[in-house]
A and B are shown apart, each in its own frame.
Chain A
Amino acid sequence: MTPLVAISGLSVSFDGAAALHGVDLSLAPGEALGLVGESGSGKSVTWLAALGLLPPHAAVSGSVRLEGAEILGAPASTLDRLRGGRVAMIFQDPASSLNPVLTIGKQIGEALALHRGLDGRARMAEAKRLLDLVGMPDSARRLSAYPHELSGGQNQRAMIAMALAGRPDLLIADEPTTALDVTIQAQILELLASLRKETGMALVLISHDLGVVAETCDRVAVMYAGRIVEEAPALALFEAPRHPYAEGLIGALPLLDGPRRRLTAIPGTVPDPREAPPGCAFAPRCPKAASACAGAVPALTEVGPARRAACFFPLRSTPSRAERKVTA
């Protein structure tokens, strides 16, 4: 089966500083993929680059195929038809991601006009139906509301309605809940999951929070400093991370079951693209680093069924949660 999206060797640099170093990632139709990593690891840039949404000073190379057809560097008219059509994207801060001087109805209607050719009353009726679909209360009245008149959660629902307007095969949700309250976060994640079930679209859920991704996604890719460092089915990753960075991210999660414990955040920060260390970018922060790690960049290789990791010394042991609690 051809993948829905196949990204290979995707590299991006901003004014000479490399932000992505050859990312390979693919996605089956209808699949839910989580993309996690600390802030600055290149998650947003990956998908902005794939859709041609980066500013002109970004140098992009590699390949992005949508059902086999190359879209990287495709003409503007092709990209315009595809964006908001087959591939939709929503962003972190719903309040500033919506145009403050246009009504919600107008902004959803614009997507309906572009991708479905709807106009007049049919357009507004469909916009209202989409607002109902995303659980917007009092949808008829919300059509004529402006973003500043809605709450953060309502704005994100409006963004999602707008993204659904073109009946996408793939929805990329870039930190859709980061700017929202915890209770609203859960509602939005639930909404995304149920919409995926109803429509059969694929979902890429970008988050710096593994917990957010784990509940919603089948498969998770972990990114660090512009590279994918581990890729695995969501459950398997949680049970037994192979890359020390992934283990670090899991260690930083609060456990829902079991006694409260100190969170073990990974010491240090993501290196700036301009001063990336030679060899494995995680080595300076890695508890298991050896001299080989500074010498070369480990390639992303098969480490098990449907699992890949980019580490010279992938973790083998499969510590249970109980064990980790004791060592923490």
Chain B
Amino acid sequence: MLRFLAVRFGRALLTVALVVTFAFVVLRLSGDPATLILGPEVPPEAIRAFRESWGLDEPLWRQYFSYFGAIASGDLGNSMRDGRPALELVADRIPATLALTVPALLLKIGIGIPAGVYAAMHRGGPIDRTVMLVAVAGFTVPSFVLGLVLVMVFSVQLGWLPSGGRDTWLHAVLPIVTMGVGGAAILARFTRSAMIEVLGQPYIRTASAKGVPWGAVIRGHALPNAAIPTVTIVGFMVGSLIAGAVVVESVFSWPGVGRLLVVAVSNRDLAVVQTILLLVAATMVTANLIVDLLYGALDPRMRRGAGQGAH
């Protein structure tokens, strides 16, 4: 178990390092921060001075190594815009983003999983067909379109809810619903097909054949098996708690990490962009690690070294 964890953890670190490297290379090759931040009219000496002070005049490989060295000692650099530590800038925005993504995640799980299970149990019935229709609509409609439609209806037409900003909890309702609906649709579809697959397995018939009432067959035999593939999708959703709100934050002018990322990318504010990507990668990788551990808990076939069978 410890070795399993160590291997997993090592792989997770490697993934994060790769993401950081990729971001580093792409950002340096895709435009000059100096002209973007200072503007095109500044004299060349100012630009040269800016580059020197941020180390942008050094060869790329040296920049890369000093950057990694700094990360290893916990220094993620400063924003080129206002000089504040990038980590601080990003950390300031995290609560706002979580205020959207955490309730949205609960909404996805709370609606998506029960809807998927119910649809699978009443396959082909009117409720199944409705759930599937909503589910297909839910994930074919892009979230910015859904967001705009919700604004049109609930802000412009009905005037019930604000269309943007972050002043009261009412402002969070539309962005949360926008994210929650799409995710619930994906989860419902996924849960439904996992459940249908499981309900067709011979061990479900065995459970019925030994007299287990249908409700207990669902709870005790089908759900624990259907949970195994579903955990993957939920894990992915947990992994996007930080990064999953870019579009919605932009649509609803919500001052979270996603909007900071959009602004920082367009400014080539290297330290900030890299800090956000590092954070996103770390969240994803952590979620993946948790999923792996959950697999072990849910599926005895995934457990290693747990009692050798005689064959």
| Beta-carbon contact of B206 and A115 below 8 Å | no
Which bracket fits the contact residues of B?
Answer: 20 to 34
| Beta-carbon contact of B210 and A99 below 8 Å | no
Enumerate chain A residues within 8 angstroms of B298, measured Cβ to Cβ: 101
Query: How far, in whole Å, are A85 and B209 apart by their CA atoms in the complex?
Result: 9
| Beta-carbon contact of B308 and A149 below 8 Å | yes
Instruction: Say yes or no: is B224 at the interface (Cβ < 8 Å to chain A).
Output: yes
| Beta-carbon contact of B225 and A110 below 8 Å | no
| Beta-carbon contact of A163 and B300 below 8 Å | no
A101-B225, A101-B298, A145-B307 known; A84-B201 Cβ under 8 A = no
| Residue of B with least CB distance to A162 | B210
Query: How far, in whole Å, are A56 and B38 apart by their CA atoms in the complex?
Result: 71
Instruction: Say yes or no: is B309 at the interface (Cβ < 8 Å to chain A).
Output: yes
| Beta-carbon contact of A88 and B307 below 8 Å | no
A93-B202, A99-B225 known; A83-B209 Cβ under 8 A = yes
| Beta-carbon contact of B225 and A85 below 8 Å | no
* Dominant secondary structure of chain B at its interface with chain A: helix
What sequence of 0s and 1s flags, for each residue 146-163 of chain A, a beta carbon within 8 Å of any chain B beta carbon?
Answer: 101111001000010011
Instruction: Say yes or no: is B32 at the interface (Cβ < 8 Å to chain A).
Output: no
Query: How far, in whole Å, are A96 and B200 apart by their CA atoms in the complex?
Result: 11
Query: How far, in whole Å, are A89 and B207 apart by their CA atoms in the complex?
Result: 10
| Beta-carbon contact of A110 and B209 below 8 Å | no
A96-B202, A100-B225, A148-B301 known; A85-B307 Cβ under 8 A = no
B281 CB to closest chain A CB, in angstroms? 32
| Beta-carbon contact of A101 and B209 below 8 Å | no
Query: How far, in whole Å, are A144 and B307 apart by their CA atoms in the complex?
Result: 9
Instruction: Say yes or no: is B74 at the interface (Cβ < 8 Å to chain A).
Output: no
Query: How far, in whole Å, are A79 and B224 apart by their CA atoms in the complex?
Result: 24
Instruction: Say yes or no: is B310 at the interface (Cβ < 8 Å to chain A).
Output: yes
Instruction: Say yes or no: is A111 at the interface (Cβ < 8 Å to chain B).
Output: yes
| Beta-carbon contact of B211 and A101 below 8 Å | no
Enumerate chain B residues within 8 angstroms of A151, measured Cβ to Cβ: 309-311
| Beta-carbon contact of A89 and B209 below 8 Å | yes
Tell me the chain B residues, 180-222 only, with Cβ under 8 Å from chain A: 201-203, 205-214, 220-221
Query: How far, in whole Å, are A162 and B212 apart by their CA atoms in the complex?
Result: 12
Instruction: Say yes or no: is B299 at the interface (Cβ < 8 Å to chain A).
Output: yes
B17 CB to closest chain A CB, in angstroms? 35
Enumerate chain B residues within 8 angstroms of A22, measured Cβ to Cβ: none
A53-B205, A148-B301 known; A166-B225 Cβ under 8 A = no
Enumerate chain B residues within 8 angstroms of A99, measured Cβ to Cβ: 203, 206-207, 221, 225
Query: How far, in whole Å, are A99 and B311 apart by their CA atoms in the complex?
Result: 19
From A48, A80, A148, A150, B211 is in contact (CB under 8 Å) with A80
| Beta-carbon contact of A84 and B211 below 8 Å | yes
| Residue of B with least CB distance to A153 | B311
| Residue of A with least CB distance to B124 | A57
| Beta-carbon contact of A76 and B212 below 8 Å | no
| Beta-carbon contact of A97 and B206 below 8 Å | yes
A88 CB to closest chain B CB, in angstroms? 7
Enumerate chain A residues within 8 angstroms of B299, measured Cβ to Cβ: 100-101
Enumerate chain A residues within 8 angstroms of B300, measured Cβ to Cβ: 100-101, 146, 148
A304 CB to closest chain B CB, in angstroms? 36
| Beta-carbon contact of A88 and B209 below 8 Å | yes
Enumerate chain B residues within 8 angstroms of A321, measured Cβ to Cβ: none
Instruction: Determine which residue in B202, B210, B301 has the highest number of CB atoms from chain A within 10 A of its CB, and name it.
Output: B210
B211 CB to closest chain A CB, in angstroms? 3
| Beta-carbon contact of B203 and A83 below 8 Å | no
Q: A99-B207, A149-B309 are in contact. List 18 more A-B contacts (CB 8 A).
A: A53-B205, A76-B213, A76-B214, A80-B212, A88-B210, A97-B203, A97-B205, A100-B225, A101-B299, A102-B221, A102-B224, A110-B207, A111-B211, A114-B211, A148-B300, A150-B309, A162-B206, A166-B210
Closest 6 CB pairs of A and B: A149-B309, A84-B210, A84-B211, A146-B300, A83-B211, A99-B203
**Pairs across A and B, CB under 8 Å, 18 listed:** A48-B205, A80-B213, A81-B211, A83-B210, A93-B202, A97-B202, A97-B205, A98-B203, A99-B203, A99-B225, A100-B203, A101-B299, A114-B212, A137-B310, A144-B307, A145-B307, A148-B309, A149-B308
Using a CB–CB cutoff of 8 Å, the interface residues on chain B facing chain A are 201-203, 205-214, 220-221, 224-225, 228, 298-301, 307-311
